[in-house]
Amino acid sequence: MIPTVRSRTGARMPLLGLGTWMMGEKARRRADEVAALRLGFDLGLTLVDTAEMYAGGGAEEIVGEAIAGRRDEVFLVSKVLPQNAAYQGVLRACEGSLRRLRTDHLDVYLLHWPSRHPLEETIRAFTHLVEAGKTRFWGVSNFDVEDIDEALRVAGARAIACNQVDYHLKERAIEHAVIPWCERHEVAVVAYSPFGSGDFPTPRSHGGTVLQEIGSAHGATPRQVALAFLIRRPSVFAIPKASEIAHVMEDAGAEAVSLTAEDLRRIDEAFPLGSRPHDLPMI
């Protein structure tokens, strides 16, 4: 079973969860996607992330089917689009997500990325949703330090549950400032696309060889080694995509991989941090 940690919110969440980006797009895949999510729950991957944007709400419908009869087992996260982030827009969007998810509440509701709407309006709506019992907590996604500083100024200390950001071996930009900021302010970091959205190191590349060698020493796969590296800090969670049974089973095994200091050094050398970018990457 996947280890859980107590977040600053007080909720216990698994270090590894299930992402749903690009799910719900093909009707013929629906049964397989629902089965993959349910298997993930069985294996302890009970943090499930979705968004109104994914397949125009189709991913939320897949999740709604998967959690039917199991809602109490799941830590459920969804996101509002920036164009819907005005006060009334957030409230309407949340109701739509709850309807598609077939539930009366979320565990965390996120702003998908910074919006043109005043952040004060968005946070006021999030606060209303918490008070109304529609979500337990709220957070942000794709926020760089300047953005999340502004959110902290508006909301006050200990209000932001998490910041969900792009993070994988070839994209470590958040290690420069975002992760340290979140650790200082007790904001969880949730890594999406932890395998790089189709850009995972090939077996014949230098980095791929390093992952393979480390994996062989631990009886693990390169994907499991990569996940273990990303969640090496207690502030970081990861939500690999969960559309295939085989990948869900493989991802769940990553928690058993205990990397040594030498392993971490080799991975760090194979996938260097690089300089801090001007803009935080997002997809």
Secondary structure (DSSP) of 105-137: -EEEEEESS--SS-HHHHHHHHHHHHHTTSEEE
96 near 130, Cβ under 8 Å? no
Q: Could you give the 3-state DSSP secondary structure of residue 62?
A: helix
Give yes or no: 54 in active site: yes
270 near 210, Cβ under 8 Å? yes
Q: Which of 169, 192, 167 is nearest to 270 (CA)?
A: 169
Given the residues 54, 109, 167, 192, the one annotated as active site: 54
Neighbours of 221 (CB within 10 A): 18
- Edge-to-edge order in the sheet of strand 160-166: 18-19, 47-49, 75-80, 106-111, 135-141, 160-166, 188-192, 236-239
Residue that the structure tokens 């895949």 belong to: 29
* Sequence letter at residue 48: V
Cβ-based neighbours of 86, under 8 Å, separated by 6 or more: 117, 121, 122, 125
Q: Which of 138, 141, 51 is nearest to 101 (CA)?
A: 51
Rounded CA gap, 89 and 87, in Å?
5
- Cα–Cα distances (Å) from 73 to 20, 38, 134, in that order, read 17, 11, 17
Q: Which active-site residues does the annotation give?
A: 54
